């Protein structure tokens, strides 16, 4: 196997629109919008995992929900139901690049939530960002009780004293570059991605 083939395979993550074959069937990863799943969505995911897969839902390191053991025959039904719930992107390329993690207890009306929504819109709408690696990740930490700022991602945005600190991943860990106003954080992250 060539080195480039190994890198290509290693960098690929399954999605709803691009499932991956494994030993127990297909794997799909659902990427919740702005890190949140409503109660009716969670119930529907549990039902789909039970009816169409092996019944398990895993939480991945990048805060995706992974369903395993899916059968090829049930894939159309799964995609249609997740589409009805708004849990599927317009295409596989958008799905692959929309890797935004949000602190789990961030309030829906918080700056962190608004930043996550803005970043997801930019990732879905800016064709230039489709060239990012599929494992390229963004993190928004609201500075609250459950911090995820220590997780390794390519760009980290963390609320600190009314500002948003901006960090980039380096071999030595996150390198904090400075801070900006919350309203500018998504634009700063998009400029860094470009």
Listing DSSP states for the chain in one string gives --HHHHHHHHT----SSS-EEETTEEEEEE--GGG---HHHHHHHHHHHHHHSSS-EEEPTTS-EEEEEE-GGGHHHHHHHHHHTT-S-SSHHHHHH--EEE-TT--TTSHHHHHHHHHHHHHHH-GGGGGS-TT--EEEE-SSSS--TTS--SEEEEEETTEEEEEEEETTEEEEEEEE-GGGHHHHHHHHH-
What is the per-residue pLDDT for 102?
93
What is the per-residue pLDDT for 5?
34
State mean pLDDT over 83-93: 93
Higher-pLDDT residue of 147 and 1 is 147
State mean pLDDT over 111-133: 93
Confidence band (pLDDT; 50, 70, 90) for 36? Answer: confident
Instruction: Tell me: pLDDT of 45 over 70.
Output: yes
State mean pLDDT over 7-16: 63
């Amino acid at each position: 196997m060539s080195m480039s083939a190994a890198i290509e395979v290693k960098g690929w993550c399954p999605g709803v629109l691009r499932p991956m074959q494994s030993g127990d069937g297909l794997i799909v990863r659902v990427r919740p919008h702005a890190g949140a799943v409503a109660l009716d969505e969670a119930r529907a995911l549990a039902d789909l995992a039970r009816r169409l897969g092996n019944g398990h839902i895993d939480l991945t390191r990048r805060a995706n929900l992974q369903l395993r053991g899916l059968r090829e025959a049930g894939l159309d039904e799964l995609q249609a139901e997740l589409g009805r719930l708004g849990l599927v992107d317009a295409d596989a390329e958008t799905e692959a690049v929309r890797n935004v993690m949000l602190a789990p207890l961030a309030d829906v009306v918080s700056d962190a939530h608004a930043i996550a929504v803005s970043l997801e819109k930019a990732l879905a709408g800016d064709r230039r960002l489709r060239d990012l690696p599929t494992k390229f990740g963004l993190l928004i930490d609201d500075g609250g009780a459950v911090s995820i700022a220590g997780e390794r991602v390519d760009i980290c945005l963390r609320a600190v004293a009314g500002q948003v600190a901006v960090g980039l991943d380096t071999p030595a860990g996150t390198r904090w570059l400075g801070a900006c106003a919350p309203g500018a954080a998504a634009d700063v992250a998009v400029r860094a991605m470009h």
